[in-house]
């Protein structure tokens, strides 16, 4: 079983596949969407028709699904990877989805065994950054399982942080996404203010990049905001809303209010109500611009 499996052939799943193929590894992929399976084949991967087929074909499988519910279903469902696995070798699952940290810890307690190893590796970076090798893998899991899968982990994320026990990767990812999202929101609000005041947004973006306010988000999302180009997403509005809803729910379990995150989630919800759920999350600037006196 030499190929690496991928469940979820959306933006991140395809970026992961591209990294693995660039490193000389063959890839097999499954998605419920037949069109995505076809596109995966066109890009050089081998599509499979079921999770069961993937479980038999691959010893290491990356999960790039939407949320924690889907991670649990893919692994523990009646036709999931674990129940479908017949091979005697260990199945190693690498979860790149942004998930509820507590539920991931509970999942690992249920499934981890000599037959199943679980690695948490949410990735900091857009799908475009990951495809270029610029994503940062937030790795958590048993050290022997991580070490055995390191060739594949390195191929996907040349830059990595080892964070210890499962759950820690998700905790770090939620906190990173909070800071990153608020950076996007702050930049969008500044661009709207500059444009309303009569400044050219692209020219002002260059000013921002050379100012004390600089952050990497200006390079990644700034041009999209300044040009209002959201139709080819690297990370979508609905994904960001899912992440912010998750971090708000998780913060409540910690007894911590996140006032800026609450505002940001409200802005994302406004984008969704305007039909922008599938747009790049840089479209947050549209909702800010719609907030007029």
Look at residue 1 in the predicted model and tell me its pLDDT: 45
Task: Identify whether residues 12 and 151 lie together within a single domain.
Answer: yes
Look at residue 130 in the predicted model and tell me its pLDDT: 96
Instruction: Confirm if 26 and 1 have CB atoms less than 8 A apart.
Output: no
Task: Identify whether residues 21 and 129 lie together within a single domain.
Answer: yes
3-state secondary structure of 254: coil
3-state secondary structure of 260: helix
Q: 251-282 burial, b if ≥16 CB within 10 A, otherwise e? A: beeeeeebeebeebbebbbbbbeeebbebbbb
Task: Identify whether residues 150 and 177 lie together within a single domain.
Answer: no
Q: What is the pLDDT of the chain when averaged over all its residues?
A: 96
Taking CA atoms, 218 is separated from 92, 182, 262, 279, 288, in Å, by 37, 12, 22, 18, 17
Mean pLDDT across 8-37: 96
Q: What is the pLDDT of residues 178-208, one digit of tens each?
A: 999 999 999 999 999 999 999 999 999 999 9
3-state secondary structure of 158: coil
> What's the CATH code of the domain at 231?
1.10.1040.10
pLDDT at 14 > cutoff 50: yes
Task: Identify whether residues 58 and 125 lie together within a single domain.
Answer: yes
Domain range enclosing 78: 4-164
Task: Identify whether residues 70 and 137 lie together within a single domain.
Answer: yes
Q: Tell me the C-alpha distance between 98 and 182, whole Å.
A: 17
pLDDT at 2 > cutoff 80: no
> What's the CATH code of the domain at 85?
3.40.50.720
Into how many domains does the chain fold?
2
Q: Tell me the C-alpha distance between 165 and 173, whole Å.
A: 14
CA torsion sign for 145, 149, 153, 158 is: positive
Q: What is the pLDDT of residues 215-257, one digit of tens each?
A: 999 999 999 999 999 999 999 999 999 999 999 999 999 999 9
Report residue 87's pLDDT band, with 50, 70 and 90 as the boundaries: confident
Q: Longest C-alpha distance within the chain, in Å?
A: 67
């Amino acid at each position: 079983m030499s190929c690496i499996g991928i469940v979820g052939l959306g933006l991140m799943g395809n970026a992961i596949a591209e990294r693995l193929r660039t490193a000389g590894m063959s890839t097999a992929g499954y998605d419920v969407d037949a069109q995505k399976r076809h596109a995966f084949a066109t890009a050089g991967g081998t599509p499979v028709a079921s999770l069961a087929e993937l479980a038999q074909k691959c010893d290491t499988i990356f999960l790039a699904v939407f949320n924690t519910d889907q991670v649990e279903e893919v692994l523990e469902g009646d036709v999931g990877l674990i129940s479908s696995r017949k091979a005697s070798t260990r199945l190693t699952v690498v979860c790149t989805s942004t998930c509820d940290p507590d539920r991931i810890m509970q999942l690992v307690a249920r499934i981890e065994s000599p037959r199943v190893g679980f690695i948490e590796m949410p990735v900091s970076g857009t799908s475009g950054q990951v495809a270029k090798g610029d994503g940062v893998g937030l790795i958590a899991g048993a050290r022997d399982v991580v070490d055995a899968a390191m060739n594949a982990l390195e191929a996907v994320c040349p830059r990595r942080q080892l964070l210890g026990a499962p759950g820690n990767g998700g905790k770090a990812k939620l906190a990173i996404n909070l800071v990153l999202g608020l950076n996007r929101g702050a930049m969008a609000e500044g661009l709207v203010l500059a444009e309303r005041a009569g400044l050219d947004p692209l020219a002002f973006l260059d000013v921002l990049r050379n100012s004390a306010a600089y952050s990497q988000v200006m390079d990644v999302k700034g041009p999209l905001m300044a040009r209002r180009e959201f139709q080819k997403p690297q990370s979508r509005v609905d994904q960001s809303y899912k992440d912010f809803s998750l971090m708000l729910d998780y913060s409540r379990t910690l007894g911590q209010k996140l006032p800026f995150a609450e505002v940001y989630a409200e802005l994302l919800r406004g984008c969704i109500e305007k039909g922008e759920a599938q747009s790049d999350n840089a479209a947050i600037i549209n909702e800010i611009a719609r907030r007029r006196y």
